[in-house]
Amino acid sequence: MSDLRELYQEVILDHSKHPRNSRALPAANHHADGHNPLCGDRLKLYVQVDNGVISDIGFTGAGCAISTASASMMTEALKGKTVAEAEALFQRFHHMLTGAPDEQPSEDEVESLDKLGAFAGVREFPVRVKCATLAWHTLQAALKDQPAPASTE
């Protein structure tokens, strides 16, 4: 049960029940679809980039608590960041989730992710890593204007 509390932290439950930035931005200059075939989660991400800065971002779609919370918290974290900063954040986020099992993420590492550090518990549930990273993979597809839907497979 302690592992489960680590996974389903209050902030994650809160964002899954009340997702922020959960809206379509039809005029956004970048968008992409994401799909996690394992659980059937589908996500549509809209990103408005002006002069290299993410000025607005929103998503629609239904998914499990982890993928919904991850999308919500990602959009919160990215608003106002440059595209380069977003990319660096994803690298750190990804490392926190997928680093070798014996090397726990450092305090600094988790701290530097701010609220996103709440996802550290996902490491213990390898089958759920894809849920936590779906929004981020979709973000990469959107920024690269990739036509095919981003997939966690």
Partner 1 sequence: MTTTAPIRPSRPTSKPPRFDAAAIRRDFPLLQQKMRGKPLAYLDNAATSQKPQAVIAAIARYYNSLNANIHRGVYELSADATEAYEKARGKAAQFIGASDPREVIFVRGATEAINLVASSWGVVGIKPGDEIIVSALEHHSNIVPWQMLCQWQGAVLKVIPMNDAGELDLDAYAKLLNHRTRMVAVTHISNALGTINDVERIATMAHDAGAKVLIDGAQSVPHLAIDVKVLGCDFFVFSGHKVFGPTGIGALWARAQLLEAMPPYQGGGDMIASVTFEKTTYNVIPAKFEAGTPHIAGAIALASAFDYVNNIGFDAIAAQERDLLEYATGQLSSVPGLKLLGTAAHKAAVISFNLDGVHPHDVGTILDGEGVAVRTGHHCCQPVMDRLNVPATVRASFAFYNTREDIDRLVAALGRVKEVFG
Find the shortest distance in angstroms from Cβ 40 to partner 1.
Answer: 4
Applying CB under 8 A, which residues contact partner 1? 1, 3-5, 7-8, 13, 38-41, 62-66, 125, 127-128, 131
Half-sphere exposure of 37 (CA within 13 A, CB side): 5
Q: Of 36, 86, 38, 28, which Cα lies nearest the Cα of 61?
A: 36
Find the shortest distance in angstroms from Cβ 102 to partner 1.
Answer: 19
User: For partner 1, which is the closer residue by CB, 72 or 78?
Assistant: 72
User: For partner 1, which is the closer residue by CB, 61 or 89?
Assistant: 61
User: For partner 1, which is the closer residue by CB, 86 or 152?
Assistant: 152
User: For partner 1, which is the closer residue by CB, 38 or 53?
Assistant: 38
Amino acid letter, 11:
V
Find the shortest distance in angstroms from Cβ 140 to partner 1.
Answer: 22
Find the shortest distance in angstroms from Cβ 132 to partner 1.
Answer: 12
Q: Which residues on neighbouring strands pair with residue 50, listed in sequence order? A: 53
- Measured CA to CA in angstroms, residue 133 lies from 27, 58, 91, 104 at distances of 25, 16, 11, 18
Instruction: For tokens 């980039």, name the residue.
Output: 49
Amino acid letter, 115:
K
User: For partner 1, which is the closer residue by CB, 33 or 41?
Assistant: 41
**DSSP strands (E only) in the chain:** 30-36, 41-50, 53-60, 150-151
Find the shortest distance in angstroms from Cβ 10 to partner 1.
Answer: 10
